[in-house]
Structure 1
Amino acid sequence: MATRTPSRSAPDARSLLLAAAFVALVNVVGGLPGVLFGPDTAWFRALEKPAFYPPGIAFPIVWTTLFTLLGVALWLVWRRDAPGRRLALGLFAAQMAVNVAWTPAFFGLEAPLLGLLVIVTLWVLVVATFAAFRRVDRRAAALLVPYLAWVTFAAALNFELWRLNG
């Protein structure tokens, strides 16, 4: 493809526009479940929350930041013509699909245990995606570190919500 570069050369205007499209796409795909199945339900408000539960405003800020980093990381891998690129892109798609599945599982079905199973699967896929991205572009892998940290925190939070309310 003409828009992919085999090296880490400086991106041109078209490539930067494509990067912005990747960021927008990941934010839309990642954010859509929250619009459809959000925490603003009587069921969720009634749940006992752990002491380390963040203020509600933290979630949209953190997720927007993380999805933006994911979009840039995806763009960095997509534009490289390197061994392992196809696997890295496939793992990214798989982890994104599982990420998107968490919100309807937890909020839509009101099922913290199912949410926990989904987020543990997500964590494994994020680790695999990190490893695959690292082989293609170390910068892209570095951009996944905050995401892995947040998914780890979210898994602990999900576990506590299940434990306290199970």
Structure 2
Amino acid sequence: MEKIQWKPLLLSILISLGTGTLAGLLTSGSMEKYQTLYHPPLAPPGWVFPVVWTILYFLMGVAAYRVYVSGNDDTKQALLIYGAQLLVNALWPLLFFKLDAYFFSFIWLLLLFDLVLLTARCFSMIDQIAGKLLIPYLIWLVFAGYLNLAYLIHNLFN
């Protein structure tokens, strides 16, 4: 990795954090709703989500930056897949919190996981560190899947 290119780095981080901000604005009140939901074992308090997501969006932005400045021929395709996963990511909270579509949001989360896994693979082929920066995101999505599935099952049987 060469010298840091600050403008592309900041833009990349802002795009990523902006996705989270947009999702948060579209789902205002979601943490209040979270407090009313069934909490399976290991469910964190509501304040954990914005902290974790801020960290994850920051890592995504750094990863995308590393791919962007790599000069690799596959950069454009990798960043298109990255953009697709950002879009899918931004829509999940709408499905879950605004539409109460727990089944569909779980399926959507599986799609998101697949897109992030594909993004991580594409990023890794261009820049191994960029791919590794997405590992915490993948782990968090597994945990989010556990929570989403728990809410789905609880609502089906109660």
Partners of 1:58 and 1:19 lie apart in 2 by 26
Partners of 1:160 and 1:31 lie apart in 2 by 26
Instruction: Pick the aligned partner of 1:56 from 28, 39, 46.
Output: 46
How does 1:103-118 map onto structure 2 within 5 Å?
A: 103-118=93-108
Q: CA deviation at 1:133?
A: 0.3
Instruction: Pick the aligned partner of 1:83 from 55, 73, 78.
Output: 73
Deviations 1:124-144 (A, max 9, x none): 001100110011111111110
Provide structure 2 residue ranges, at least 5 long, that are not aligned to the other structure.
Answer: none
Q: CA deviation at 1:45?
A: 4.0
Instruction: Pick the aligned partner of 2:3 from 6, 10, 13.
Output: 10
Partners of 1:46 and 1:72 lie apart in 2 by 35
Counterpart contact for 2:120–2:134, Cα < 8 Å: yes
Provide structure 1 residue ranges, at least 5 long, that are not aligned to the other structure.
Answer: 1-7
Report the TM-score when normalising by structure 2. Answer: 0.92
Deviations 1:97-145 (A, max 9, x none): 1101101111111111111011000000011001100111111111101
Secondary structure (helix, strand or coil) at the match of 2:2 reads coil
CA RMSD in angstroms, aligned pairs only? 1.4
Instruction: Pick the aligned partner of 1:35 from 25, 33, 36.
Output: 25
Q: What is the aligned length?
A: 155
The 1:41–1:57 alpha-carbon spacing in structure 2 relative to 1, beyond 3 Å, is closer
Partners of 2:31 and 2:134 lie apart in 1 by 28
Q: Which runs of 4+ in 1 moved over 3 A?
A: none
Report the TM-score when normalising by structure 1. Answer: 0.87
Instruction: Pick the aligned partner of 2:59 from 64, 69, 77.
Output: 69
Partners of 1:138 and 1:52 lie apart in 2 by 31
Q: CA deviation at 1:83?
A: 2.9
The sequence identity of aligned pairs, in percent, is 32
Partners of 1:106 and 1:62 lie apart in 2 by 18
Secondary structure (helix, strand or coil) at the match of 2:133 reads helix
* Structure 2 match to 1:133: 123
